[in-house]
Chain A
Amino acid sequence: QKEVEQDPGPLSVPEGAIVSLNCTYSNSAFQYFMWYRQYSRKGPELLMYTYSSGNKEDGRFTAQVDKSSKYISLFIRDSQPSDSATYLCAMIDSGGSNYKLTFGKGTLLTVNP
């Protein structure tokens, strides 16, 4: 079982839709969670960073963490064509590898006008 599982998609939605992106993980030591957006042939851009269970909102983006279920989500409201990108979840564990991001494989999202 991989440490972090992320549905690679592709996911295609109409403009204005609510998008839900998800990752599950198996390592209980993961305590810090990030979502990155990566446009084609560009570097990853940090969208959200959180370390507690619950919701964190930033504009149209909401990150949700459920540590008891080992499940994290990113919701995008009122999705726009400019949101079309690959979304990567990433996690840091609280043990010896506390410097290392463990990434999901990424979900490719297309928002159609």
Chain B
Amino acid sequence: DTEVTQTPKHLVMGMTNKKSLKCEQHMGHRAMYWYKQKAKKPPELMFVYSYEKLSINESVPSRFSPECPNSSLLNLHLHALQPEDSALYLCASSQRSSYNEQFFGPGTRLTVL
């Protein structure tokens, strides 16, 4: 299995809602990442998990809360988001967190009303 999967594909939420994005990989990778991508822009790194521990938080607002329940799963919990948070949220994984090529999932397209 050489895929990174993400659910849901699309999500629409209000500013007071709580929702979660899910990411899964079965490649034995020990680093997982969350990125945010706005239209016609490259992905921007949000979080890095290495061996299930949060190793990098790129100054992301606390309304985004990542969680890594095990080596194959990565969640992103969303609460009290703003309309400007609407974007494509991408999960990626790599063998380790340094010097390795990263494989991306298809993304979750999030719309905040």
Q: How many Å lie between the Cα of A32 and that of B27 in the bound state?
A: 21
What residues of B have a CB within 8 angstroms of the CB of A101 in the complex? 43, 45, 102
The interface size bin for chain B is 20 to 34
Query: At the interface with chain A, which of B60-68, B69-77, B104-112?
Result: B104-112
B7 at the interface (CB under 8 A from A): no
What residues of A have a CB within 8 angstroms of the CB of B105 in the complex? 43
Within the complex, the shortest CB–CB distance from A32 to chain B, in Å, comes to 6
A105 at the interface (CB under 8 A from B): yes
- Chain A 81-105 interface 0/1 with B at a Cβ cutoff of 8 Å (1 = within): 0000000101010100011110111
The interface size bin for chain A is 20 to 34
A interface residue numbers (CB < 8 A to B): 31-32, 34, 36, 41-46, 49, 51, 88, 90, 92, 94, 98-101, 103-106
19 A-B interface contacts by CB (under 8 A) = A32-B101, A36-B104, A41-B107, A43-B90, A43-B104, A43-B107, A44-B43, A44-B104, A46-B101, A46-B102, A88-B42, A92-B98, A92-B99, A98-B98, A99-B56, A101-B45, A103-B43, A104-B42, A105-B41
